[in-house]
A and B are shown apart, each in its own frame.
Chain A
Amino acid sequence: MVVFIQQFINGLAIGMAYSLIAVGFSLVFGILRLVNFAHGAVYAFGAQFALVIFVGMQISIALAILLAMVAAGLLGVIIDKTALEPLRKKKSMPIANLITTIGISHILVNLMTIYFGSQTRGFPALFSFGMIEVAGVRVDSNQLMLCLVALILMGVLTIVVQKSKIGLAIRATEQNTKAASLMGINVNFVISFVFFLAGASAAIAGGLIASHYRIVFPAMGFDAGLKAFSAAVLGGIGSLPGSIIGGLIVGVSESMAANFLGSAYRDSVAFVILILVLIIRPTGLFGKKAIMKV
């Protein structure tokens, strides 16, 4: 029983890490109906950048992650402005945007390999209060902090989207881009802002996850990005609470699979569950039905 609970808690911590990344997929998908496959690479960039300025500028790791948030946010904006906006202006097919994001992800990962090297490097721990043990179940303080920061981040993002003026503009653009722009909303700015938010959240995710596992490497966004993407789809892509729930389900099912079926099955089970959910609920758990715009 203790092992079962321990595995469940392990799964929650893994799941929280996925939801942190999944948020960025949801944000961009919500506004552009675009799966931004470059998000995983931006996440890796956030972590790498934080490490580089932590080492180079001798500042605290928390400050380094904050600076990395800005850098990754700007990177998101640059990606949109240089690669995606021209495609939108040309009214190209959605698939062209999708392929472009995959291409950008490869470009980013290779540039990181060139500038930072391909080796796995150590990342400093952000929090270290040791282990907390309750009735034989151990929780790492890092895991707790990871969950806490993820929840705070979700809260902040929800408030921004639901309560603020820019959030209103985001939701308006989400519903109808043309109408929003007729109402005087600067749609291009709104889209850039969303890319900034997504990039900044990717850097937080990157910094937290890297400091939890204490490693960074250029390709770290690939697997994590894929799992986070499936978490976002599972929860209903475009929905913020959906990405948390989706992430937790993927994480817990992974650790349960490792527990009951053996760790070799760990990665496939998450995707089996994803497929099952999508057969039963094609829009994901929290997803809204897509409205056909005429």
Chain B
Amino acid sequence: MKKKTIGILVVLALVAVIFAGCAQGAPQAPAQPATPAGDAGAAPDAGAPAAEGGNVRIAVAAPLTGDNAEYGQGFLNAARLQAEHRNAAGGVLGGRQVEIVPFDDANSSEEAASIALRIASDGDFAGVIGHFSSGVAMTAAPTYNENQIINISPSAGHVDFSGIGEFIFRNNTVVVVEAGAILDIAVTDLGHTRIGILSIMTDWGVSTSDVIMNLVDALPGVEVVAHEEVMEGSPDFSPAITAFEAADVDVVISVSQYSTLAPFAIQYRTINPEVDILGFSNAYTRNLIDIGGESVERVRFPVSFFADSPDPVIQAFVSEYIAANGYSPSALTAQAFDAVGILLDAIDAAGTTEGEPVRQMLHEISHNGVAGVVSFDAGGDVMRDFFRVVIQDGEFRLTN
């Protein structure tokens, strides 16, 4: 009997711990800005000048654990850095502090859907930065849109993402533009005509390889001679490489993250050291060189953000980011930083955190960010120029 009581107590304690854990990610006691009806019950942070309403709360919903945690952590670090900047400069809306609230979706659509519902039912968020993968972001986006919550994804590249609704924005170029830039590197810069595509089997991977094939159809004399699809996380590419070699490709465009691109390059370059490999900007991270070593030499990418750029604004951001986190920011991290930046600008300009006026303001303003100028078109997409980067002697270097 006694054992049973102890057992029940242990279970209760565990349940309590679990709920306590949830509470960290979940909205805490309503400090209530978003709805003007609510009156500031709790005092804002000490030190912050007293202003109407509490903190301006922005949710960062991204994979903070699991396989893609490094990207989500990057979003969160970037958002916090941007919030620190604003708070140091006196906050937004005449002195209200910016508060970043993290939500971990573990890059799973199920988690993302429930996070979106939690954020919506809380009713107290001025916006959501995130969801990392297109597929995951597209599960959560309809909920944000229905509830008039601004959602800016720093990474979703899927063609259909921003079309989900007028409250859905992305601070990442639509994949068509990036694919165009990559093909231009392949055809104009390198003079190749026989193209192979290696793509991962995700929403983004499948739609992006379709986009590339459509773009190639319009290019005279250029053709896709092999298209190989692989599962993310399975490290053997030998069947794909044999197929590329049999098709006699000049260049392989890798539609994948660095974790696929690096081992692919190692395996391919052992067999054929001459082949050219191109990557998308989400593979542009220091890890790629650390893993790939000599095998990723001459790999090229179009990137929106180049950490070694001499631009003083970028250098300031990079050194501050390294000081806070110990490693260099990636392109997506920079895009997350700018996404928070333009959202706060829009809130300031609209004079409110309410969804509709901020949404209109987002279309009107532009924001000078670290990854170029952010300005949304009518569809909620951004346009930007790409740097062309090549790996040489174990370093990323500009080619243009």
Contacts and interface: CB of A to CB of B under 8 A. Distances in A.
B263 A214 contact: yes
Contacts of B266: 213-214
Contacts of A17: 236
Contacts of A122: 262, 290-293
B286 to A, nearest CB: 10
Contact of A217 (B67, B230, B270): B67
A119 interface: yes
B109 interface: no
B267 interface: yes
Contacts of A290: none
Interface in B238-268: 238-240, 242-243, 246, 258-259, 262-263, 266-267
Interface in A192-224: 209, 213-215, 217-220, 222-224
Interface string A1-39: 001001100110110010000000000000000000000
A262 B240 CA distance: 9
A258 B242 CA distance: 10
A223 B67 contact: no
Given A118-B67, A122-B290, A217 B233 contact: yes
B291 A215 contact: yes
Contacts of A217: 67, 233, 259
B36 interface: no
A113 B240 CA distance: 29
Contacts of A155: none
B271 A263 contact: no
B291 A13 contact: no
Contacts of A218: 67
Interface residues of A, number: 40
A11 B236 CA distance: 10
Contact of A113 (B66, B243, B258, B259): B66
A137 B201 CA distance: 29
Nearest to A263: B228
Nearest to A133: B271
Contacts of A10: 236, 238-239, 242
Interface residues of B, number: 34
B62 to A, nearest CB: 12
Contacts of B222: none
B268 to A, nearest CB: 12
Nearest to A114: B65
A53 B159 CA distance: 44
B70 interface: yes
B271 A138 contact: yes
Contacts of B293: 122
Nearest to B289: A122
A223 B231 contact: yes
A141 to B, nearest CB: 10
A122 B66 CA distance: 18
B65 A118 contact: yes
B69 A113 contact: yes
Contact of A121 (B67, B234, B236, B290): B290
A85 interface: no
Nearest to A9: B238
Contact of A223 (B233, B262, B292): B233
A230 interface: no
Contacts of B240: 258, 263
A6 B242 contact: yes
A70 to B, nearest CB: 25
Interface in A243-287: 254-255, 258-259, 262-264, 266-267
Interface string B336-357: 0000000000000000000000
A257 to B, nearest CB: 8
A14 B267 contact: no
B375 to A, nearest CB: 32
Interface in B170-224: 201
Residue of B242, B287, B291 contacting most chain A CB atoms (<10 Å): B242
A258 B287 contact: no
A213 B381 CA distance: 38
Contact of A213 (B235, B242, B290): B235
Contacts of B246: 3
Nearest to B234: A223
Interface of B: 65-70, 201, 228-231, 233-236, 238-240, 242-243, 246, 258-259, 262-263, 266-267, 270-271, 287, 290-293
15 contacts: A10-B236, A13-B238, A119-B259, A121-B290, A140-B270, A209-B235, A217-B233, A219-B66, A219-B233, A223-B233, A255-B239, A258-B239, A262-B228, A263-B229, A267-B231
